[in-house]
Structure 1
Amino acid sequence: MADDGIDKEQLLALARSRSDASRAELFAVMGDLFHARNDILNAQERALMLDILEKLLAEVAREVRHRLAVKLAGAPGVPRELAVLLANDEIEIATPILMQSPALEDLDLVEVIRNRSRQHILAVAMRRDLSTQVSDALVETGDKDVIRTLLENHDAQISRATLAYLVEQSKAVDEFQEPLVRRADLPADLARRMIYWVGAAIRQALIERFEIDPETLDDRLEPLVKAEAETATQQSREDDAADVLSRALGAARQLTPRLLLQTLRRGEIPLFEAMFAEMSGLRMRLVSRLAYEPGGQSLAVAARGIGLNREEFATIFLLTRRAKAGQGGFAPAELGRALEFFDRLSHAAAETVLNRWRRDPDYLFAIRSIEEGQEKRRA
């Protein structure tokens, strides 16, 4: 069979012998052939050796199988069938193969994940260059230690969908947070989301341990969290003309209630919304919603909060109703109720609500998620 003096008959003789020494010698010879001189075997000889190994594998001492697995773990050209046999052996034998053998395919690894022990699965999670298919199978186990091991494996490929799922899970599973944020492949938007959740968790812990006013804490904590999130995303939005003009007017201290009303009277709705957002410190999307909400209570809060008087609020209320596309008017009593609400509302109360609205929506969502989780645990 080969130029080293070992032939089929000698291998078969070793295979037929039931002594531990003969079996050990057989596995050593076969290991050498597969490891260093696999190219001298033809297809028939490879098949013969595999058949012998498969039949005798369970009968050979664990130490012998372990030596074979270590020798073949990183070797190229090892038959896939042999690698699969060793990968499904006891964990001591399987580990070097599962972690290193290039002979194993994704399907083989997924089968191990689904059918073998937790230790086998952890060995797979530590394997370099895992595909997204194998990573998904590891995450599907739901085992926290397995998932953390996968996240700490920076050579593993993890799909965006799976990362998004794990980021969501990290709200409740603290062990996922650190390895997630350390991954270079974590998309910026998911990193930003994580930072808000971590910040919200810190906020909840501080409130529970110390007598701290939540609003005061938010004033201190939110800017730090937001700065970290902005650094993580490194994204900038494109400004449209209305945003640019409204900010320029604000910087020049020329944004006045009179200019706001004049803009609205001229029907320049986008510019009015941008100016109102600049004056109130609210997001454009929120301004676009509250300006046209039925009842006008939210608009009253914003107007009172930025210091508009009763007449100015009433004018904005009427003009926004008229400007709203497709709106079929409103009942006169609606204006009366809105003005009554405006009159009862103090500037301080409006400022408190307005300050809450100014906070980043992701920050507020994170806080609500933490608070809801606490309420469910108490129930």
Structure 2
Amino acid sequence: MSVATSLLPELEEMISRGDPKRLAQVSRGIAEMFVQGASGFQTHHVQLFDHLLTGIVPQTELAARADIAERIAAIANGPPKLIGQLAREDNISVAGPVLRRSPVLDEQALVEIARIKGQDHLLAMTERASLSPGLTDVMVQRGERDVIRRAAANTGAAFSPIGYSALVKRAAKDGVLTITVGQRNDLPDRLLKELLAGTVDVVRRRLFDMADPTRQAAVAKAMSDLSGKQQAEKQRDFAPAQRTILSLYRAGELSETALLDFAKAYRYTESVAALSAMSGVPIAAVDRLMAGDRHDPILIIAKAIGLEWATVRALVLLRLGPARIPASADIDNVRANFMRLSPSTAERVVGFWRTRETA
């Protein structure tokens, strides 16, 4: 330890001269001394190395800082100030090793870094052996696709009720994430059912096939419950809605405005009945198209009868239901598809549907 102490005057001189290469060489040497003796060091020894290294490491070259971060990342009694310093660096080659492995970083530090740093830092943290609910809350809020998928796949991650709800909403737009989240044993049954309700049958079946035997029972029950609910929805009574639409028609008030009002109020049967009356496509066919996996059929009917985008958007949201909030990019893609659709093409398709269903 006297060797480390005797370096202090020389270090001060090197820092004042600003010689990064010499500082890199010395800092690597001190870090190696620490790594070799860390298991036997007491607190005051660690503090001395921490003081030495925090004074010189920030002045060294990038490669040296990354090398030191890699060397000390997994040490249980690593120098805390230096590790905190490295973890907050913008360059992920320096911050990454300690963010992934250092047991010295506490939850407060990790949450702080997660709130202010970019996706590379969040991605590195998803590799930690455990992730607290406070940390995963930030990841779900700020993380992009890869971060969310990796956090959900981490068996040592814990999610708060708010975090899990947000995770399920994100999964509605990501089949891979749906499968990953659905395999988690700590996902409550209520949220498992909500997760599966937001996806298509092929993803549900894939989740069942990939889940371990203890999880398959919960997945199967959720799928069965949803199947019963969907069957009940197929048997909807459209008679009251048809009477409402007929009254509007007789009063000369069956218009796009009325349809928009129904869709915005999530009045499904009235919306379907109005679309049927306005397009001439039988109500059972419109119901089947509305309940399908794709938005395209509704775009086609809307284009054929000359609906505006605001009404089409309301119908798309109606299809998804009030519990699901689509991403802006998804809505933009639907709008682009609607704008590209030719009215003549849409009219031919709708004409075919009318003829087929009548036959």
Give the TM interval when normalised to the shorter protein: 0.5 to 0.7
CA 1:186 to 1:367, structure 2 compared with 1: closer, same or farther past 3 Å?
Answer: farther
CA 1:13 to 1:178, structure 2 compared with 1: closer, same or farther past 3 Å?
Answer: same
CA 1:282 to 1:369, structure 2 compared with 1: closer, same or farther past 3 Å?
Answer: closer
How far did residue 31 of structure 1 move?
A: 1.6
Match of 1:369 among 301, 320, 337: 320
What is the aligned partner in structure 1 of residue 147 from structure 2?
Answer: 146
What is the aligned partner in structure 1 of residue 105 from structure 2?
Answer: 104
Gaps of 5+ in 2: 205-214, 223-230, 242-283, 292-316, 339-359
CA distance in 2: counterparts of 1:368 and 1:83, whole angstroms: 50
How far did residue 140 of structure 1 move?
A: 1.6
CA 1:375 to 1:134, structure 2 compared with 1: closer, same or farther past 3 Å?
Answer: closer
How far did residue 95 of structure 1 move?
A: 0.6
Q: Percent identity?
A: 23
What is the aligned partner in structure 1 of residue 171 from structure 2?
Answer: 170
Note if contact 1:196-1:229 (Cα within 8 Å) is conserved in structure 2: no
1:18-47 Cα offsets, whole Å, 9 max, x none, are: 555542343233323432323655555544
Aligned pair 1:13/2:14, yes or no?
no
Q: Give the TM-score taking structure 1 as reference length.
A: 0.51
CA distance in 1: counterparts of 2:202 and 2:33, whole angstroms: 58
Note if contact 1:201-1:370 (Cα within 8 Å) is conserved in structure 2: no
How far did residue 164 of structure 1 move?
A: 2.4
What is the aligned partner in structure 2 of residue 275 from structure 1?
Answer: none
The 5-angstrom pairing of residues 208-357 of structure 1 reads: 232=219, 234=221
SS at match of 2:193: helix
Note if contact 1:14-1:25 (Cα within 8 Å) is conserved in structure 2: no
Residue type matched to 2:128 in 1?
R
SS at match of 2:200: helix
CA distance in 1: counterparts of 2:33 and 2:27, whole angstroms: 10
What is the aligned partner in structure 2 of residue 117 from structure 1?
Answer: 118
Note if contact 1:200-1:370 (Cα within 8 Å) is conserved in structure 2: no
Quote the RMSD (CA, aligned, Å).
4.4
How far did residue 139 of structure 1 move?
A: 1.1
CA distance in 2: counterparts of 1:182 and 1:189, whole angstroms: 14
Aligned pair 1:32/2:29, yes or no?
no
The 5-angstrom pairing of residues 69-84 of structure 1 reads: 69-84=69-84
What is the aligned partner in structure 1 of residue 192 from structure 2?
Answer: 191
How far did residue 94 of structure 1 move?
A: 0.9
How far did residue 53 of structure 1 move?
A: 2.2
Residue type matched to 2:31 in 1?
G
1:178-206 Cα offsets, whole Å, 9 max, x none, are: 32223333233322332232237989xxx
CA distance in 2: counterparts of 1:91 and 1:201, whole angstroms: 38
CA 1:147 to 1:199, structure 2 compared with 1: closer, same or farther past 3 Å?
Answer: same
CA distance in 2: counterparts of 1:233 and 1:12, whole angstroms: 70
Q: Give the TM-score taking structure 2 as reference length.
A: 0.54
What is the aligned partner in structure 1 of residue 62 from structure 2?
Answer: 62
CA distance in 1: counterparts of 2:48 and 2:216, whole angstroms: 61
Note if contact 1:131-1:157 (Cα within 8 Å) is conserved in structure 2: yes
1:134-188 Cα offsets, whole Å, 9 max, x none, are: 1111112152332122112222222243222221332234453232223333233
CA 1:75 to 1:45, structure 2 compared with 1: closer, same or farther past 3 Å?
Answer: closer
CA 1:195 to 1:229, structure 2 compared with 1: closer, same or farther past 3 Å?
Answer: farther
What is the aligned partner in structure 1 of residue 249 from structure 2?
Answer: none
What is the aligned partner in structure 1 of residue 246 from structure 2?
Answer: none
What is the aligned partner in structure 2 of residue 180 from structure 1?
Answer: 181
The 5-angstrom pairing of residues 127-138 of structure 1 reads: 127-138=128-139
1:198-238 Cα offsets, whole Å, 9 max, x none, are: 237989xxxxxxxxxxxxxxxxxxxxxxxx99751658xxx
How far did residue 78 of structure 1 move?
A: 0.6
CA distance in 1: counterparts of 2:161 and 2:200, whole angstroms: 23
How far did residue 98 of structure 1 move?
A: 0.4
CA distance in 1: counterparts of 2:20 and 2:167, whole angstroms: 49
Larger relative CO (CA 8 A, sep 6+): 1 or 2? 1
Residue type matched to 1:87 in 2?
A
Residue type matched to 2:36 in 1?
A
Worse-superposed segment, 174-183 or 14-23: 14-23
How far did residue 76 of structure 1 move?
A: 1.2
CA distance in 1: counterparts of 2:155 and 2:43, whole angstroms: 38
CA distance in 1: counterparts of 2:331 and 2:93, whole angstroms: 46
Gaps of 5+ in 1: 204-227, 236-280, 291-295, 299-351, 360-365
CA 1:30 to 1:44, structure 2 compared with 1: closer, same or farther past 3 Å?
Answer: same
CA distance in 2: counterparts of 1:45 and 1:14, whole angstroms: 18
